[in-house]
Structure 1
Amino acid sequence: MFIRNEKSVKEFIQYYPVVSIIIMIHILTWIIDVVPIPLFEQLYNLGVGRHYEIHNGEYWRFITPIFLHGDLIHMLFNSFSLILFGPALEQMLGKGKFLLAYLGAGVLANIATFFLNPSFNFQHVGASGAIFGLFGIYVFMVVFRKNLIDSQNAQIVTVIFVIGIIMTFIRPGINAYAHVLGFAAGFIIAPFVLKGARSYYPWQYRRTYDDDEEIRFNPNRWKKKRRFSGKNKPNLLWIIIIALVILGLLSQIL
Structure 2
Amino acid sequence: MFVRTESFQEFLKFYPIVSGLVAIHFLLWLFIDIIQLPIAMQILREGIGNNYLVGQGEYWRLVTPIFLHGGFAHALFNSFSLVLFGPALEQMLGKTKFILMYIAAGIAGNVGTYLMAPNAFYQHLGASGAIFGIFGVYLFIVLNRKSLIGSANTQIVMVIFVLGLFMTFSRPGINVWAHLFGLIGGFAVAPPLLRNVRPFSVWQNRAKFANRESKDIAFNPNRWSKGPSPLKKYGKYVFWGIIIFLIALAFVR
Cα distance in 1 for residues equivalent to 2:7 and 2:162: 31
Which runs of structure 1 show a deviation greater than 6 angstroms over 4 or more consecutive aligned residues? none
Deviations 1:19-62 (A, max 9, x none): 11111111111122212333321221111001121111111000
Cα distance in 1 for residues equivalent to 2:201 and 2:38: 47
Deviations 1:94-153 (A, max 9, x none): 001101111100101111210112633201000000000000000111111000001101
Aligned CA distance change for structure 1 residues 15 and 176 (closer, same or farther; 3 Å): same
Cα distance in 2 for residues equivalent to 1:206 and 1:141: 24
Give RMSD over aligned pairs: 2.2
Q: Which amino acid aligns with 1:122?
A: Y
2:183 is matched with which residue? 183
Partner of 2:196, secondary structure, is coil
2:19 is matched with which residue? 20
Instruction: Tell me if structure 1 keeps the 8 A contact 2:66–2:125.
Output: yes
1:98 corresponds to 2:98: yes
Instruction: Tell me if structure 2 keeps the 8 A contact 1:109–1:177.
Output: yes
1:29 is matched with which residue? 28
Aligned CA distance change for structure 1 residues 110 and 147 (closer, same or farther; 3 Å): same
1:169 corresponds to 2:169: yes
Instruction: Tell me if structure 2 keeps the 8 A contact 1:110–1:178.
Output: yes
Instruction: Tell me if structure 2 keeps the 8 A contact 1:51–1:118.
Output: no
Instruction: Tell me if structure 2 keeps the 8 A contact 1:136–1:184.
Output: yes
Cα distance in 2 for residues equivalent to 1:109 and 1:84: 21
Aligned CA distance change for structure 1 residues 205 and 75 (closer, same or farther; 3 Å): closer
Deviations 1:73-93 (A, max 9, x none): 000010000000000000000
Structure 1 unmatched ranges of 5 or more = 214-244
The 5-angstrom pairing of residues 72-83 of structure 1 reads 72-83=72-83
TM-score norm. by structure 2 comes to 0.80
1:219 is matched with which residue? none
- How many aligned residue pairs are there? 215
1:144 is matched with which residue? 144
1:226 is matched with which residue? none
Q: Which amino acid aligns with 2:11?
A: F
Q: Which amino acid aligns with 2:102?
A: Y
Identity of matched residues, %:
51
How far 1:178 sits from its partner (Å)? 0.7
Q: Which amino acid aligns with 1:14?
A: K
Cα distance in 1 for residues equivalent to 2:11 and 2:102: 19
Instruction: Tell me if structure 1 keeps the 8 A contact 2:14–2:205.
Output: no
Structure 2 unmatched ranges of 5 or more = 215-243
Cα distance in 1 for residues equivalent to 2:47 and 2:211: 48
TM-score norm. by structure 1 comes to 0.79
Partner of 1:207, secondary structure, is helix
Q: Which amino acid aligns with 1:31?
A: L
Partner of 2:183, secondary structure, is helix
- Greater mean alpha carbon deviation, residues 33-42 or residues 50-59: 33-42
